[in-house]
Amino acid sequence: MNLLLSDDYLLQDYPENITNTIRSGHTTCLRFNRRGDYLASGRVDGTVVVWDIETMGVARKLRGHRAAITSLSWSRCGRYLLSACQGWRAVLWDMADGKRYREVRFRAPIYTAELHPWNHHQFVASIFEQAPCLVDIAEPIDVKHILPSAMKRANTDADAATKEKQAKEDAKQQTTASIYTITGDHILAGTNKGKLNIIDVNTHEIIWSEKICSSVVTTLKLTGSGRDLLVNSQDRIIRTFNVPNLSAEDLDPDTIQVPLEHKFQDVVNRLSWNHVTFSATGEYVAASTYNNHELYIWERGHGSLVRMLEGPKEEQGVIEWHPNRALLAACGMETGRIYIWSVTSPQKWSALAPDFSEVEENVEYIEREDEFDIHPQEEITKRRLDAEDEDIDVLTLEPQSKGYDDDMDGTAFRIPVLFNLGESDSEEEFVAVSTGTVRRRSLGEGGEGEAAQTEEKAVVGGKRPTAGKTGRGRKR
């Protein structure tokens, strides 16, 4: 609704500066939910923290993993969150009560675990040095379907030596990233040899495969429309592809084409990219850099670099673009802080004084014919009241233009508001809080919650020695 009142929101659609820094432990992994009101963050110690983007405070803490979180995925309704960790297991959390809804154990650390876009009882996991799995968790006892990493060979007439060679090659293929297409009918999987596989969810077979880059595929991302694919690879090139409609009735696997659209790279510095993300609409591509502090933002229309975001003096790991706003979340590799990049529009002064309006240049004022006529007050009032003959509708809702508003009618799931978050915090975590603590205490609110929100200004003060704070934390 605020869009009705402001126009400058739409002027710039990529973030410019850090508006918040939030911290809970050492964050390694981030994911926004579909509506963009919650941000899930996974920590090194295995705790999953759900942040409320509106308040920049902790909404839920989910404990159960014992190793660093590697992947997070929300269900469509926002009620379930799938987290996977290096400790060989994936947990589906129910946000309604913050409890484990399902837990699945694997035999190796998990690279990625992605929930089916429509069915929260199914997910696909790519596992370290093992075949990827399609996991059905409709029943409490999960069913794992092994997915192939290499295309089935059609050449049955090849000799034994070739076959052996091919089998060896195939065995080397390992899936390192896997995501669902937007309809959930297919899985896009990237391998350590730079191949992109399209796997049918029902038959569990690769229907199409192609080598798209020369090194390990580390990240796969789709836009909201599902028509564009973003691939990060260790060959220092970020690629975007156009994805055909794989759910078409007359899909012929032999005619599938996934054409390359853009290649983004830093040819001067030969940078490699930690993590990549599409903007809300897919108009921009953002990437965090390896061994470097900047975030790069390219514009996809022309494939040009539009912005390098410089801010915190540390390397950035996982980055996530908000699903509908010009807001970017990035987590620092050293401190584990979450930096929120966004746009700040200046206060319009005309909004504070309705008699004034802001004009670009001088305007000659033309007075109205009757502007200084004197009328009796009653007549003015009466005339004014008579003029109020408009038909007013206070009930009908204006149709929402954007898809993410389709559940604004209140029926959608909402994470309950908890009052006792502070009680679950351990001493160690409390010490880790930096500047936010100071500010909260000045309001007489110590010890409750641990949301360490700091305004941009406060970031400077964040370097103060933590020893003093540690002491204060222990005194309590």
Partner 1 sequence: MAELDTSVADVPVTAPPPKRRKVHQEDSTESTPRYDTPDAKEGQDGKDKDDKSTLRVSIREQQRESPSASRSPSPKRRDNYYSSDHDTSRISRSITRSPVSGDPTPFRTPAADAGVDVASEPPQPRQPTKPNFKPRLILGGHRKPISQVRISPDGRWIASASADGTIKIWEASTGRHIETLVGHMAGVSAVAWSPDSKTLASGSDDKAIRFWDRVTGQPARSRPLLGHHNYVYCLAFSPKGNILASGSYDEAVFLWDVRAGRLMRSLPAHSDPVSGIDFSRDGTLVVSCSTDGLTRIWDTSTGQCLRTMVHEDNPPVTSVCFAPNGRYLLAFSMDSCIRLWDYVSGQVKKTYQGHTNAGFSIGGCFSVVDGKAYVTAASEDGDIVLWDIKTKEIVQRIEKAHDGVCFWVDLHGDTMVSCGQDGKIKVFRHRGPVEECSMAAEAATSEVPNGTGDSTDRAAPEAMDVDQDQSRSISPLKTDAEIKNEES
Which residue in the set 72, 92, 421, 433 belongs to the binding site for partner 1 (CB under 8 A)? 421
Which residue in the set 55, 162, 245, 247 belongs to the binding site for partner 1 (CB under 8 A)? 55
- Residue 280 engages partner 1 in binding (rule: CB under 8 A): no
∠ CA 114-117-121, nearest 5°, is: 70
Neighbouring-strand partners of residue 167: none
CB of 472 to partner 1, least distance (A): 17
CB of 82 to partner 1, least distance (A): 23
129 contacts: CB under 8 Å, gap ≥ 6: 108, 174
- Residue 394 engages partner 1 in binding (rule: CB under 8 A): yes
CB of 474 to partner 1, least distance (A): 20
CB of 420 to partner 1, least distance (A): 9
CB of 380 to partner 1, least distance (A): 9
Q: Which amino acid is at 105?
A: R
The Cα–Cα gap between 171 and 148 comes to 10
Q: Give 254 or 391: the residue with its C-beta nearer to partner 1.
A: 391
Which residue in the set 252, 391, 399, 475 belongs to the binding site for partner 1 (CB under 8 A)? 391
| Token pair for 74 | 């929300």
Q: How many residues bind partner 1 (CB under 8 A)?
A: 51
Which residue in the set 411, 419, 465, 476 belongs to the binding site for partner 1 (CB under 8 A)? 419
Listed ranges 73-81, 291-299, 380-388, 460-468: which one lies at the site for partner 1 (CB under 8 A): 380-388
188 contacts: CB under 8 Å, gap ≥ 6: 178, 179, 180, 181, 196, 197, 198, 199, 220, 222, 229, 243
Listed ranges 268-276, 291-299, 311-319, 443-451: which one lies at the site for partner 1 (CB under 8 A): 443-451
Q: Give 258 or 327: the residue with its C-beta nearer to partner 1.
A: 327
CB of 392 to partner 1, least distance (A): 6
Which residue in the set 30, 40, 48, 59 belongs to the binding site for partner 1 (CB under 8 A)? 59
CB of 256 to partner 1, least distance (A): 41
How many CB atoms neighbour CB 297 within 10 A?
Answer: 22
Distances (CA, A) of 59 to 56, 99, 338, 424, 456: 9, 14, 15, 12, 22
Q: Give 221 or 440: the residue with its C-beta nearer to partner 1.
A: 440
Which residue in the set 411, 443, 475, 476 belongs to the binding site for partner 1 (CB under 8 A)? 443
The Cα–Cα gap between 438 and 108 comes to 42
- Residue 58 engages partner 1 in binding (rule: CB under 8 A): yes
CB of 347 to partner 1, least distance (A): 5
Q: Residue 352: helix, strand or coil by DSSP?
A: helix
- CA-CA-CA-CA torsion sign (371, 376, 379, 381): positive
The Cα–Cα gap between 451 and 55 comes to 9
- Residue 373 engages partner 1 in binding (rule: CB under 8 A): no
For residue 19, give the nearest of 414, 469, 342, 370 by alpha carbon.
Answer: 342
The distance in angstroms from the start CA to the end CA of the chain is 43
Q: Give 57 or 224: the residue with its C-beta nearer to partner 1.
A: 57
Phi-psi region of 239 (alpha: psi -120 to 50; beta: other; left: phi over 0): beta
Which residue in the set 417, 457, 467, 476 belongs to the binding site for partner 1 (CB under 8 A)? 417
- Residue 9 DSSP label: G
CB of 441 to partner 1, least distance (A): 10
CB of 416 to partner 1, least distance (A): 7
The Cα–Cα gap between 318 and 295 comes to 11
The Cα–Cα gap between 369 and 381 comes to 19
- Residue 426 engages partner 1 in binding (rule: CB under 8 A): no
The Cα–Cα gap between 448 and 428 comes to 14
Q: Give 24 or 289: the residue with its C-beta nearer to partner 1.
A: 24
Listed ranges 98-106, 199-207, 291-299, 395-403: which one lies at the site for partner 1 (CB under 8 A): 395-403
User: Contact positions toward partner 1, by CB under 8 A?
Assistant: 1-2, 4-6, 37, 52, 54-59, 344-345, 347-348, 351-354, 384-385, 388, 390-398, 408, 410, 414, 416-419, 421-422, 440, 443-445, 448-451, 453
